A and B are shown apart, each in its own frame.
Chain A
Amino acid sequence: MSGVTPLFDAIWDDYMFWSILVGAFSFGWLYHHTYYYRAKEGESPNIDNLEVGVFPKEYDNFKLEVTWTVLPFILIVWLTYISWAPLDAVWSQTGPDGYHGSVCEDGQSSNNFIDASGYVRSECYHEIGIEGQQWFWEFDCYGLSEELCATDYATVEGELKPHLILKAGETYLAEMTSIDVTHAVKNTEFGMMEDVVPGQTAYLWMPAVEDTSFLMLCAEYCGDNHAYMVAQITVE
């Protein structure tokens, strides 16, 4: 339904299913009671004999209350469980245990693909650098060949913005730093973002699977021209 990344879509659909179920249950109940138990014309019953200054008669049902404590709890555990696996994929470690192997040798290709569960898997990855500053992004190909990674400038709504050109089928690990304040890289079509905190190095996977071209945005408010701190990323 959403069409961001296969991984996102898979979780999204699961969550939408449960949301609609819970929503339909609650709203069905709500609408039924608001209609069925409305006060009838001319009636004003005082069902539990509410009286000023008297703590009202207790109205509870232990079994029911336990039911709607336990059932949501089980649902929560289930939702946590299905959200657990993607953790490893989103912040995959490097090396043979990770989803993207180790750094590529010269001339080696990632050959990445999306598996049945929506995870991107690759044989190896390439390292690139992203540096944020008020209010530009700067890309560094770390000496990768022109074919794998190239930078130039593109015009976005009349303004010149940095442009990163990546190769489809390759997976990149961006090493990100900031020289002034906190920024955040948001790659909409990769379905990911990560903060870039000054004084620290952050890492973000950029699995370029299909041909596309999109805007990389700054998602952490960083000052005056925050909204215009964009760059274009092209996968071809």
Chain B
Amino acid sequence: MNNSTSRRLALLAILAIAMVVVPAVTSLPAGIAGVKDSGCNCHGTEADSSVTASITGLPETYNASETYAVTVSFSGGPSTDGNMNLGGFNLWASDGTFSTVDDSTQLWGPSEASHTESGNDQRSWTVDWTAPESGANVNFILHVNSVNGNEGNGGSSGDMWNRADVTVLGFGDAPLPEVDPFKVLATLVVISGVMLSIVVLYIFYRKNPDSFDWENFSPWISEWLTSTDHKKIGTLYFVQGLFFLGVGGIMALMIRMQLAVPGNDFISQDYYNQFFTLHGTTMIFLAAMPLINGFANWMVPLQIGAPDLAFPRLNAMSFWLQPVAALLIFTGVFSGQGADTGWTGYAPYVVTETTHSGVSMWAAGQLMLVASSTLTGINFLTTMAVMRAPGMGWFQMPLFTWSILVANLMLFLSIPAFGVGLIQVYLDRTIGTAFYDVASGGDPLLWSHLFWYFGHPEVYVVIVPAFGVISEVIATSARRSIFGYKSMVYAMAGIGLVSFIVYGHHMFTSGMSPTLRFITMLTTMLVAVPTGIKIFNWLKTMHGGSLVYRTHTLWTLGFLVTFTLGGISGMFFPSMGMDVHLHETYFVVAHFHYVLVGGTVFGFFAAIYYWYPKMTGRMLDERLGVLHFLTAFISYNALFWPMHRLGVVGMIRRTHTYYITTDDFNALPEWAADWNMLISMSAFLFFASNLIMVYNMIKSLIRGDKAPADPWGGWSFEWMTASPPPTPSFDPHNLPELKDANEHVANEPGIFGQIFRRLMVSDDAAEEESH
């Protein structure tokens, strides 16, 4: 069975299910629309065999561009002479064009014909069909509706319908294949995979060209597969994150190609929906989070002076769950049935059978990511709590480590709710539980609560580590200590706290109680206070400094610009008089791309340029870095800034197309089409500009300059080790000791610390300590 046959069979199966499941109650006396995909919206709920549909006038094999008069008719059913109406039809062809011959029929697009209001009183209609030039086989799907015309125009009780399928053979030997966007994507994924393997092989080759054979390769690769070293796992996370950043980027390009002009049909809505779903899921869970974890893995033990993480093997487990989860999430893509629910996967749509079968695996894959994040949380929280080097109190941890602590705490306390929600969805879709079955009393909003209880902290989880990076980079680059270290920490902790009580703003339009609306409005606005403190502290850090311009400095300043803009645009949403208009528009898209790309991604670009020498022992090429920054920063702003304007005029998210104002109705203004074209072109430029960085990384790895231990002049422990650091990162029997330029004793436990100690330290240990 070849691919297209199986796809067609799957389509027919879904169609059959849809015909049973989708209640068909809409009565359209002036024609039947959308039958082919959505099941019959004719009168009556199920196909009825007492109605017979027939098509005459079609040849067995057609000639190119010849026009045939096609007559469709039906018999049976409640349709009898003297009824007010007799019936209707819908005829769809996979190719060729229809044209009308009289006023009893009308066209809905070139390949779909139906009756008109005046044609509602017939049992037989005629349309002209002009054969295509391609020579491919053409399928016809005919739906007929036999009506009794009771209760005036709208009544539909007792009406019946049925369908017929006819295939007309083409003259060509083989049908011309259509380009399947999924094949394009799959090909790109495979090509990227092959390229990745080649890069891996090449790196192995470069390590020692003389020992390029299996005997040496096998232990080298199994070292990577089995390693529990935090640096190796960090690198693996890193490779995964960049890989999926590319995959998610390609999906974004597909989306932008579709939206470049209004009414485009570059990809069908079926594919479009899967692309934006997977784009969101990939970017958040498979790109941003692994990038963060990559740096966290690398830098946290180095920054706190620990030999490794607390649970090295658990750490390996956290990582290896991720690529397997990625495979599960993408299984739908390989079978052409990818998840099409949006990354939020709103109930009850996510548990209906009209979704693609890939949704189950999408939920399962995310479930594994939840497990991975939980293990990561255990590992990092424990590490930071117990493995700080002597002399390092809580308030002497570097700010990047602090940011990872806050992020992991938020994630750790919120992601179980998401996990439970996913289990519910997965069970609903597999063993048939009824968590979100509306007919059985299931509440769709429960999912929204579980999801956003996690979802909102999650967006801070991806931005807070970027704050940490910026704090490190800006202080080092300005050759100063960070301004207001403690207020920085308190601000991050404040963001962490507030993140749990703001999620309601995602549900402003879901029928929330007025009191809660007001509370959520206030708490959401409150997020701006700690964020503002951080921005002003960064700015003040530069005061009196001596800003050394490196690529990572540029990215940090770029971050300050874009993140401030994103933060300001975020203030528009809690104000509900505006939110009811801006909700689900491109204004939202612009806002979260400004904070997630302009914030998180820019922050991590800064981190790449900042820590790459430490991680690989090679300096990156500064000239390429500046080129990357300039092209990416400009194209990025051209890409996302116009979206604000589009959102205000009412362009909504997650739609396959958009409507431009015509004489009949107002929709988007005409310039919106030009702006969309600009956005799409900028998207390609932005994507391409990031390839410069990839090239830079590979090139520098091979022939970059050797990096010293502390190339930028930072103070934290990671700059104490060699570049790249040894394994274990610090000698466990000879841990480094942090000195303090300030005069205060910071290593005594505070009041909570003392309570903890009393709870958890056995008397023996305490006694031992006192001696």
Contacts and interface: CB of A to CB of B under 8 A. Distances in A.
B143 to A, nearest CB: 15
B542 A156 contact: no
Contacts of A160: 28, 30-31, 33, 108
A158 B113 CA distance: 12
Interface residues of A, number: 106
Contacts, number: 350
Contacts of A153: 28, 30
B390 to A, nearest CB: 12
Interface stretch (B329-337, B524-532, B624-632): B524-532
Contact of A43 (B546, B736, B742): B546
A106 interface: no
Interface stretch (A108-116, A122-130, A222-230): A222-230
Interface stretch (A20-28, A97-105, A166-174): A20-28
B514 A87 contact: yes
A107 interface: no
Contacts of A198: 348, 438, 444
Nearest to B557: A34
Contacts of A69: 487, 529, 532-533
Given A11-B577, A153-B28, A181 B348 contact: yes
A94 interface: no
Contact of B575 (A4, A49, A53, A79): A79
A195 B510 contact: yes
A30 B560 contact: yes
B578 A11 contact: yes
Contacts of B741: 49, 51, 54-57
A144 interface: no
Q: Dominant SS at the B interface? A: loop
A40 B546 contact: yes
Interface stretch (B68-76, B91-99, B424-432, B475-483): B475-483
Interface in B101-135: 108-109
Interface string B515-553: 001100110011011001101110111111111110000
Interface string A52-63: 111111111100
B733 interface: no
Given A159-B33, A225-B38, A182 B444 contact: yes
B659 interface: yes
Interface in A49-92: 49-61, 64-65, 68-69, 72-73, 76, 79-80, 82-84, 86-87, 89-91
A136 B26 contact: yes
B581 A226 contact: no
A21 to B, nearest CB: 10
A135 B38 contact: yes
A56 B481 contact: yes
A153 to B, nearest CB: 6
Interface string B438-465: 1001111100000000000000000000
Contact of B525 (A12, A44, A80): A80
B578 to A, nearest CB: 5
A147 interface: no
B109 A159 contact: yes
B180 interface: no
A112 B263 CA distance: 37
A65 B518 contact: no
A52 to B, nearest CB: 5
Given A214-B666, A215-B665, A136 B41 contact: yes
Interface residues of B, number: 127
Given A39-B546, A44-B548, A90-B580, A202 B511 contact: yes
A195 B655 CA distance: 16
B536 A199 contact: no
Contacts of B31: 160
B539 A33 contact: yes
A29 B656 CA distance: 42
B557 A221 contact: no
A30 B526 CA distance: 23
B354 A134 contact: yes
Interface of B: 22-23, 25-26, 28, 30-31, 33-34, 37-38, 41, 108-109, 263, 269-270, 272-273, 340-342, 346-349, 352, 354-355, 392, 396, 438, 441-445, 475-476, 478-487, 509-511, 514, 517-518, 521-522, 525-526, 528-529, 532-533, 535-537, 539-549, 557, 560-561, 564-565, 568-569, 571-572, 574-578, 580-581, 583-585, 648-650, 652-659, 664-667, 709-710, 713-717, 719-720, 736-742
Given A39-B549, A227-B654, 6 more contacts: A30-B564, A50-B476, A53-B738, A55-B740, A73-B526, A73-B529
28 contacts: A23-B568, A33-B542, A34-B547, A52-B715, A52-B717, A55-B396, A55-B715, A57-B741, A59-B481, A60-B484, A64-B484, A65-B484, A65-B533, A72-B529, A72-B532, A90-B577, A91-B514, A138-B26, A180-B23, A181-B349, A182-B346, A192-B581, A195-B510, A223-B355, A224-B38, A227-B269, A227-B657, A228-B269
Interface of A: 2, 4-5, 7-8, 11-12, 15, 19, 22-23, 26-27, 29-30, 33-34, 37-40, 43-61, 64-65, 68-69, 72-73, 76, 79-80, 82-84, 86-87, 89-91, 133-136, 138, 153-160, 179-182, 184, 186, 188-189, 191-195, 197-200, 202, 212-215, 217, 219-228, 230, 232, 234
